[in-house]
Structure 1
Amino acid sequence: MRVLCATDLSAASEAAVENETCLECLGRIGVDTIHLVTVVPSNVHSGMPGVNFDERRRRALDRYRKVIGAAGFDVETHVVRGRPYRRINGIAESVQVDMTVVGSRGKSPLENRIIGSTARNLARTTVVPLLVNRVERAADDPDVLREHLFQRILFATDFSENAERAFAAFSYLRHATEEATLVHVRSPKDEEADAEVDPRERLAERASTLENWDIETRIEVRQGDPADEILAVEEAVTPSTVLVGSRGRSRIRRLLLGSVSEEIVAGAAGNVFLVPPPRAV
């Protein structure tokens, strides 16, 4: 598997890229090549007074390459200029990576605003599965909040085609997953349309698949606002990562799951793994 790791060379990015446990988790799911990408925003120039961007970028990328290489991965670096999320998506397509990883502090200090906005824009437009790796917010020397990326998965499903595509990611995530919580949130409309369908039975079918892979699994059915209930379950079970499928981009707004994905990416305490639909050609 090939993975693209995006970095803006901030402390948050360094924590996400260099954490040994995170790298070990990527190796366990079959990753052998990491494309390290840094995007220089169009409004940043190397000749800006008091800032040697070129030298800082070179030192950081050399350090990242050594750390990642020592962990057993092949490493390729890309330095490009432009809108970060657009260039990251473009490279992800051109080198055909299987996943993009981006560190995010969420609401972060001004100096780290690029990685925050990039994570949000990637969540709206990603062309490959996207892992938003959550990093400590209020820390000068931040660390990732969930070192074991895929050890405990919270899988949220509405039983749609998009959700089933996300569930299929367990085919490789299972090599690093020990526990899983499967959650479905019902609304009044669901009860009217699917009165004869028991969501617990449907969750139990998927749980059986995971248990055959020696993943300890539990199921939960809730009722209410999907994003609110999913985040409530995350708070209760503290998973490493929330796994959710997406509907892709709409013509009006570049959204994945509409307001649900927006709220999960913005509000989740831990990591979020978004699986988009195959890109139409």
Structure 2
Amino acid sequence: MKAVLATDLSAASEATIENETCLECLGRIGIEEIHLVTVVPSNVHAGMPGMDFEKRRKNALGRYRRVIEGAGFDVETHVVRGTPHRRINGIAETIGASLTIVGSRGKSPLENRVIGSTARNLSRTAVTPLLVNRIERETDEPAVVRKHLFQRVLYATDFSKNADQAFEAFSYLRHATQEVTLVHVETPKDPGLSDDDPRDRLTALAARLEEWDIETRTDVRRGDPAEEILAAEAEYDPTTILVGTRGHSRLRRLLLGSVSEDLVARANGNVMLIPPNRSV
């Protein structure tokens, strides 16, 4: 499996790349080849006085490459120009990546309405599963918040087709996962949804995980999906929240305040998003 690891060469990105435990987790789920990608903004030109961004970025990627190769991965580097999330998605699709990884410090509640960061844009547009690796906020020398990326997973489902597809990610995550909390949030139902008891459906999913000797628990909540998923994160302290990027409601997925974007902005730990119509 191949992964794209996007970096802006910031301290937050460096924390993601240089954490040995995070790299070990990627190896456990089957990642063998990592493509390091950094994007030079379109409005920055090589001829600008005192600025050679391509050269500086190539030198930095060379250091990162040695770290990742030392962890046992094959590595390719890409310095490209353009809009970050578009170029990252383009490279991921071109190489047939199974995963895109980006570090993010997240945003304060006041800033959640501002859509513009690479992580937030990728949460809308990713063409592969996207792992947002949470980095410490408000520190000059940040570290990753959860070193064991997939050790404890909180899987949130509305039983949509995309949510079912997100669950299938356990086919490879299970090699690094010890505990899973399965959460469903009851909301006013969209037309055509099943009347099956959500507890029974979560229990059936839990049984599949237990066949892999993964410890499971189930939790059915009522209220706003994003708020309740974040409340479950606070209660169970997972290392990663796993969720599909599209649900049943066509209206909800058109709103800027979608569940997946809220989680990327506000979750304390890592968030893994599975887009629709893709398989690994």
In the superposition, the TM-score normalised over structure 2's length comes to: 0.90
Amino acid corresponding to residue 143 of structure 2 in structure 1: D
Compute the displacement of 1:194 (Å). Answer: 5.0
In structure 2, what is the equivalent of residue 183 of structure 1?
183
Matched residue SS, 1:153:
strand
1:129 CA drift (Å): 0.4
Structure 2 portions without partners, runs of 5+: 109-115
Aligned residue in 2 for 1:130: 130
Q: Does 1:38 align with 2:7?
A: no
Q: Which amino acid aligns with 1:58?
A: K
Aligned to 1:210: 209
Q: 1:18 to 1:254 in 2, by over 3 A?
A: farther
Partner of 1:139: 139
How far does residue 211 in structure 1 lie from its aligned partner after superposition? 0.9
Give the distance between the partners of 1:94 and 1:253, measured in 2 at CA.
30
User: How many residues are matched?
Assistant: 270
Pairs within 5 Å for 1:1-281: 1-107=1-107, 117-189=117-189, 194-195=194-195, 197-247=196-246, 259-278=258-277
Distance change >3 Å, CA 158–CA 254, structure 1 → 2: closer
Q: TM-score, normalised by structure 1?
A: 0.89
Cα 1:193–1:106 change in 2 (3 A) is closer
Aligned partners of 1:88, 1:73: CA distance in 2, in Å?
20
1:36 & 1:193 partners in 2: Cα distance? 41
CA RMSD of aligned residues (A): 2.6
Q: Deviations over 1:193-222 (max 9, x none)?
A: 655x21111101110111110111000000
Give the Cα–Cα distance (whole angstroms) in 1 for the partners of residues 226 and 203 of structure 2. 22
- Asked if 1 retains the 8 angstrom alpha-carbon contact of 2:58 and 2:79, the reply is no
C-alpha separation in 2, matches of 1:21 and 1:78 = 24
Partners in 2 of 1:253 and 1:259 — Cα distance? 6
What is the CA-CA distance between 1:59 and the residue it aligns to? 2.5
1:189 positional shift: 3.2
Amino acid at match of 1:140: D
How has the CA–CA distance of structure 1 residues 55 and 276 changed in structure 2, closer, same or farther, with 3 Å as cutoff?
same
Q: What is the SS of the residue equivalent to 2:189?
A: helix
State the Cα deviation string for residues 93-126 of structure 1 (Å, max 9, x = none). 1111001000011239xxxxxxx71111000000
Which ranges of structure 1 fall in alignment gaps of 5 or more residues?
109-115
Matched to 1:175, the amino acid is H
Which residue number corresponds to residue 113 of structure 1?
Answer: none
The 1:210/1:251 distance shift into structure 2, 3 A limit, reads: closer
The secondary structure found in structure 1 opposite 2:38 is strand
Q: How far apart are the structure 1 equivalents of 2:73 and 2:154?
A: 28
Q: Does the CA contact (< 8 Å) of 1:246 and 1:257 recur in 2?
A: no
Secondary structure of 2:155 counterpart: strand
Q: 1:35 to 1:253 in 2, by over 3 A?
A: farther
Q: Deviations for 1:152-204, whole angstroms, at most 9, x for unmatched residues?
A: 000000111111000000000000000100000012437x9655x21111101
Q: Secondary structure at the match of 2:97?
A: coil
